[in-house]
Structure 1
Amino acid sequence: MSASTVVLSGIGRTIPGRRLTNREWEQMVATTDEWIQQNIGIRERLRIDVESTPTEMGARAAQKALSMAGVQPDEIDFVLCATNSPADTFPSTAAMIQKQLAARHATAMDLQAGCTGWLYGMRLATGLIGSGEARQVLVVGTEALTRSLNLNDRSSVLFGDAGAAAVLSAGDTLPADRQPDRLSRPLFASLTTPSRAMQQPTIYSGELNRVEDYIQGKDMSMVPRPQASMDGKASLKLALTDTLRVVDEVLERAAAQGIARSDIKVFVPHQTNVHIVRKFCAHIDFPFERIPYSLDRYGGLSTAGIPTNLVEHWQAGRVHPGDLVLACGYGAGFTTAAMLLEWCLPPDA
């Protein structure tokens, strides 16, 4: 089989009901609400529900995306899941989502590329469909990072939890009014630079459970969990240099197809620091006020961030068929990625 056109045919997200405010953080970590807001831009972050899991959030988001795409679970060829916080080491989160969806014909696998994982998944899905190996690919990003925070590391205040998913389809499975006019498939650029900007050591510490202890009033201090730690300064430096490099690469490839920077209608940068987000916007001359900004309310959502913000922007009526959407991100590794696609979804009902 062959399929030259690759289309985003469905998208969905799952937002947990709980929030973790800066004031609550002050009681657990050596930081303040004022410092967090001024230096990072977060007031509160999404917190996974007590009985939920990354698998459950990802599966719920996937069901919404499949419903929008008009795709049945048994039509999915691949389930690709990007996560930095799997509920289990194995089986993969993708395999567990596949089971919950009853996607019995799908090949399922996890991707680990830090916060850029969802963009990496979209790139892989585009290649699978473009080569004719698949016709329907589900790409999920789901996180419960607040369950593995290092309370000795002030950078832990960055993270929030959510699940999001997208369906990429072969163009010949969709009606004519859902076909792209300018880009037959998304454009990508990515770069991986060896670094220790962020890591999740195999060290275990009961200290990590203080967050749940505080919220639930339970003593779980002896239950081991892996801790995440990050070199914030190194991450931000690489975010500016390497991420902007891949953004420029995508824009150069777009220019070769007659697409100018001014043609971009939607910009969705990865969000972990408001000052970095503003610099991204300035680099491509895109007004900060026009991006789907959620860092202050959601925190940094890692692999789920870009698709979550895309859904919010679309539901607010700010993304329209034919719009060119640029997304970019950076993550542990150090990894970076950028993607340009043409929006073909109808307005949210």
Structure 2
Amino acid sequence: MSALRSVVVGTGSSLPARVVTNADLAERVDTSDDWIVQRTGIRQRHLADDGETTSVLGTRAARAALDDAGLAPEDIDLVICATSTPDHTFPSTATQIQAGLGMHRGAAFDLQAVCAGFVFAVTTADKFLVTGAARRALVVGAETFSRIVDWEDRTTCVLFGDGAGAIVLEARDGEAGSAGRGVLASSLRSDGRHRDKLYVDGGPGSTGTTGHLRMEGKEVFRFAVGSVADVIADAFARSGTTAEDLDWFVPHQANRRIIEASADKLGIPREKIVLTVDRHGNTSAASIPLALDVARKDGRIREGDLVMIEAIGGGFAWGAALIRW
């Protein structure tokens, strides 16, 4: 029995050239390399220079994913960009990526679920593909969080970095069930009552300003470890798989302690975790596609592997998806 599935056929990424270490930050705010590493696992991050906007990084990642897939921009009929740091209030960053690639067809739009944005975007693209509304989709996670952090707040400014990652999804007829390639299942949740735990204190419809990121770190940690289990368990149940079947766990790269605590709670061995938070920091919606590209390019993720992506972001919004590579 066959089924139409959204299969990953290419990955790509883009990071700003400027690398900022913990030692560099210690010259700017009251912090230290030991303090940051012990609490987060982060050792460095990439920060965008002037002119490196979210769409610039996203276009580079998208082009790399297309090259990896052996496709041209005209082969794509859907672009979804997950971002919380768009170039403009409007038009969408996705349309600027579309224009940057030289595309003149299809649809392009942004999706905003903060750090969970890429999981939400993959889930959305999958619905377009399996229903026949599109054949190939570019799913991009791109962020320039350095532009919204408060550089006087040592508890948050050390956490974030800039970057972009992308995947190409293609609708293909394949084997039904959990053995078939493609997006097998996803589970999404949100709860707006938790706004004050992680938010930006500005916006065009409220203050008329961009604002800065604000976070209650301990509350976010507690909620993240406690909440991700339900969407992961749901995705396993929907796909008929278990943690024992998993080859790779690719979570949002926010904090090493959160990642390891979540994996331990779910019975996922730590050797199956893909970690890039040490070198990228928290790149919000870009963190999962950046990690996917790293793990595929270094040979860890191979065709046929079962991969779990998972994230939680401000709002709160959280989700998980299982992909047979």
Match of 1:187 in 2: 185
Give the Å deviation of 1:27. 3.1
Residue 285 (1) aligns with residue 267 (2): yes
C-alpha distance in 1 between matches for 2:124 and 2:88 = 23
Deviation of the 1:203 alpha carbon: 7.3
Matches of 1:203 and 1:131, distance apart in 2: 35
Q: Counterpart in 1 of 2:302? A: 320
Q: Which amino acid aligns with 1:164?
A: G
| Alignment root-mean-square deviation, CA | 2.1
Identify if the C-alpha distance between structure 1 residues 203 and 337 changes in structure 2 by more than 3 Å, giving closer, same or farther: closer
Q: Which residue of 2 aligns with 1:245?
A: 230
2:217 to 201, 217, 232: 232
- 1:225: how far off? 5.1
Q: How does 1:125-136 map to 2 (within 5 A)?
A: 125-136=125-136
Matched AA of 1:239 = A
Alignment partners' CA distance in 1, 2:201 and 2:72: 39
Tell me which residue corresponds to 2:158: 157
Asked if 1:268 is matched to 2:250, the reply is yes
Larger Rg: 1
* Counterpart residue number, 1:30: 30
Instruction: Quote the residue 1:215 is aligned against.
Output: none
In structure 2, relative to structure 1, the CA distance for the partners of 1:124 and 1:203 (3 Å cut) is: closer
Normalising by structure 2, report the TM-score.
0.91
Displacement after TM superposition at 1:278 (Å)? 0.8
Report if the CA contact (8 A) 1:156-1:229 is conserved.
no
Equivalent position amino acid for 2:145 in 1: L
Structure 2 vs 1, CA of residues 142 and 290 (structure 1 numbering), >3 Å: closer, same or farther? Answer: same
Partner-residue secondary structure (3-state), 2:321: strand
TM-score relative to the length of structure 1: 0.85
Give how far 1:328 is off.
0.6
Deviations 1:85-112 (A, max 9, x none): 1122111100100101112112111110
Structure 1 residue ranges (4+ consecutive) displaced by more than 4 angstroms after TM superposition? none
Q: Secondary structure at the match of 1:100?
A: helix
Provide the residue aligned with 2:172 in structure 1. 171
Distance 1:203 1:113 in 2: 15
Q: How many residue pairs get matched?
A: 315
CA contact (8 A) 2:181 2:304 kept: no
Quick one: distance in 1 between partners of 2:114 and 2:216? 14
Task: Specify which of 322, 341, 347 is matched with residue 323 of structure 2.
Answer: 341
Query: Please, which runs of 5 or more residues in structure 1 have no aligned partner?
Result: 205-223, 344-349
Letter in 2 for 1:161: D
Which residue in the other structure is 1:55 paired with? 55
2:247 counterpart SS class: strand
Unaligned 5+ runs, structure 2: none
Query: How far apart are the structure 2 equivalents of 1:184 and 1:289?
Result: 23
Cα deviation for residue 184 of structure 1 reads 5.4
Query: Aligned pair 1:307/2:289, yes or no?
Result: yes
Supply the distance in 1 between the matched residues of 2:271 and 2:48 (Cα, whole angstroms). 28
Matched AA of 1:23: A
Percent identity, please: 35
- In structure 2, distance between residues paired with 1:66 and 1:158: 30
How much has 1:303 moved relative to structure 2? 0.6
Separation in 2, partners of 1:306, 1:62: 14
SS for the counterpart of 1:96 is helix
Q: Does the aligned pair in 2 maintain the 1:75–1:103 contact within 8 Å?
A: no
Aligned-partner residue type, residue 156 of structure 2: S
Structure 1 SS opposite 2:299: coil
Other-structure match for 1:298: 280
Q: Deviations over 1:6-57 (max 9, x none)?
A: 2111111012211112222223333332211111111111112333111111
The amino acid that maps onto 1:323 is: D
State the Cα distance separating 1:4 from its structure 2 match.
2.1
- Kindly provide the CA deviation profile for residues 265-309 of structure 1, in whole angstroms up to 9, marking residues without a partner as x: 111011211111111221232332332211111101111111111
Letter of the 1:137 partner, please give it: A
Deviations 1:157-181 (A, max 9, x none): 1111111111111105xxx89xx94
2:149/2:156 contact within 8 Å kept: no
SS class of match (1:61): helix
> What secondary structure does 2:4 align onto?
coil
- Correspondences of 1:84-103 after superposition (within 5 Å): 84-103=84-103
Q: Counterpart of 1:209? A: none
Q: Which has the higher strand share?
A: 2
Secondary structure of the 2:115 match is coil
